[in-house]
Amino acid sequence: MNRRNFVKLSSLSLLPILACGPQGKKEEEVFSLKIHSDMRTGHLVRDSFNWPEVESEKTELLVVGAGIAGLSAAANAPTKDLLVCELSDRIGGSSGSETYQGLQFCQGAHYDLVYPNYFGKDCLNFFEKLNIIQFNGQTKLWEYTDKQYLIDTSFESQCFSGGAFRSDVLPEGEEVKMFLDFMDQHIGNFMLPSRAIPKNMRALNQIDFLSYLNKNITLSPGFVRAIDYQMIDDFSGEAHQVSALAGMYYYANRPYRTNEIEVFSPPQGNFYFANKIATEIDNSQILLKHLVKQIKPLKKGFEVLVADVSQQKVKKILAKHVIYAGQKHALKYIFPEEYPAFENIKYAPWLVVNYVLKENSLTEGHWQNEMVMNNQAFLGFIDSDAQHQKGDKRVLTAYFCFPEWQRKNLANLDRTGQQIALQTAEKIGWYFGLRPEQFVPMVEKVFIKAMGHAMPIPVPGYLFNDHNINRKHKNLAFAGVDNGRLPLLLEAVDSGLCAVNEIFGSIS
């Protein structure tokens, strides 16, 4: 660490986390830092206007986006004549990962839980085929086959609030008992994919979670703050912003109090699933750094303009069918005629900050470290120490969920990255009882990933709007959690399977 730079940057540390650094001035460098941001896409599109167009290719199916939804669609398509175009240099989307000196760690979605037997069979069968899960007749749960990635319950999570630790985000006492008793009455009604949720529960999609809770139980402001934290953590909005259906799903989707619900969290997070799904697709068919910038309907099929970022060329691809599994806000530019169906979706920006430590001199860690702070955007961090890679370097992965209006500030990371890394390090240091000047020298490298449209917020009215129903072209279908789904792994998988079904009639 350069001490002079550290002191200069520290003086900025009381600013809000995304406050702009000094205009036009390069930041002082405290950390060796690598930034990965999807906020640079706009520049790419503009640059690509000057790139030459190359001869057209033909494909039966073009999939836009290699997130979990796009990969699931490609893996289940009945044709092998397909291409998956992904604008990033890696697959996974919001379930992505990063590597450093052979070490792999998560930069987005980081876990899932064992699946009850009342969850939809299509996704479970697909995961069984990939040897990800197997049914346990005794527990009646679909359990993970890679047992080494199950999190030891004694190191599962710890909550830090008001300078003190407690075992759970929801404060202990009578209130939590009453709250969870209320939730338990609903277990079995909230499953994934959400399209399987019974019709009689769907009125909950029309009201916000806080209003619904207030109608049924009395909660103190401190308890509501804890619920807000959990709603932001999973759904990017507070209890008064997300639907009651999303909230009830969160607390009542599995029999948490009667069964042991195992947490599955490999060091690379849900990139594990992306990677497994991708084994079903020929590598040469996944085109990385390929940005789909325009889709034009033809008499039969589509003309798709794709910017090949490495070659700085624009490819014209004639596709008989398209599955659009990219975020839908960009349809405005890519395929404007379908944009109105999606224009009301609210997307939350997220930021992930990974700290690779030089050596593991910190105390033994918990997997999930939930930090309920005054700054609502900062949620805490995941500690690889609890992810069964003993002996490897330790990686601490911090998460921020910002309100929509802060998205534009994520575009300044080249100017503010060091400051964000330092402020986040201060918070993590505090958690471990260390001052910044003690914690910062322990850090070898920092990685920041910014996702401007990281996930759709399930506000009242959002769920169950499958825009495939009224789509304009039968041979273009939509996939992704932002097609009226909860922002969760199985929803992304199921949306891919459904898109294949929409186009080809049956899942292979």
Q: Residue 76, interface with ligand FAD (CB under 6 A)? A: no
Q: Are 215 and 207 in contact (CB under 8 A)?
A: no
Residue in 63, 455, 477, 503 binding ligand FAD, rule: CB under 6 A: 455
Q: Are 376 and 165 in contact (CB under 8 A)?
A: no
Q: How far is the CB of 278 from ligand FAD (least distance, A)?
A: 12
The interface with ligand FAD within residues 310-339 (CB under 6 A) comprises: 325-327, 330, 334
Residue in 59, 105, 110, 443 binding ligand FAD, rule: CB under 6 A: 110
Residues 6+ apart with CB under 8 A from 19: 12, 409, 416, 419
Report which residue's Cβ sits closest to ligand FAD.
67
Residue in 67, 116, 247, 460 binding ligand FAD, rule: CB under 6 A: 67
Residue in 291, 309, 398, 410 binding ligand FAD, rule: CB under 6 A: 291
Q: How many CB atoms lie within 10 A of CB 79?
A: 15
Alpha-carbon gap, residue 196 to 123, rounded angstroms: 12
Q: Which residues of 15-43 are buried (b: 16+ CB within 10 A; e: fewer)?
A: eebbeebeeeeebbebbebebbbbbebee
Q: How many residues bind ligand FAD (CB under 6 A)?
A: 39
Element (H, E) at 141: strand 141-144
Closest CA to 454 of 294, 133, 236, 307: 236
Q: How far is the CB of 454 from ligand FAD (least distance, A)?
A: 3
Alpha-carbon gap, residue 116 to 73, rounded angstroms: 24
Residue matched to tokens 């697959």: 91
Q: Residue 362, interface with ligand FAD (CB under 6 A)? A: no
- Residues forming beta bridges with residue 160, ordered by sequence position: 165, 371
The contact mask relative to ligand FAD for 169-208 (x = CB under 6 A, - = no) is ----------------------------------------
Q: Residue 88, interface with ligand FAD (CB under 6 A)? A: yes
Residues 6+ apart with CB under 8 A from 47: 312
Q: How far is the CB of 329 from ligand FAD (least distance, A)?
A: 9
Q: Residue 242, interface with ligand FAD (CB under 6 A)? A: no
Q: How far is the CB of 38 from ligand FAD (least distance, A)?
A: 6
Q: Residue 488, interface with ligand FAD (CB under 6 A)? A: yes
* Choices 239-247, 249-257, 435-443, 485-493; region in contact with ligand FAD by CB under 6 A: 485-493
SS3 399: strand
Residues near ligand FAD (CB under 6 A): 64-70, 85-88, 93-95, 108-112, 270, 291-292, 325-327, 330, 334, 350, 352, 399, 451, 454-455, 480-481, 487-489, 492
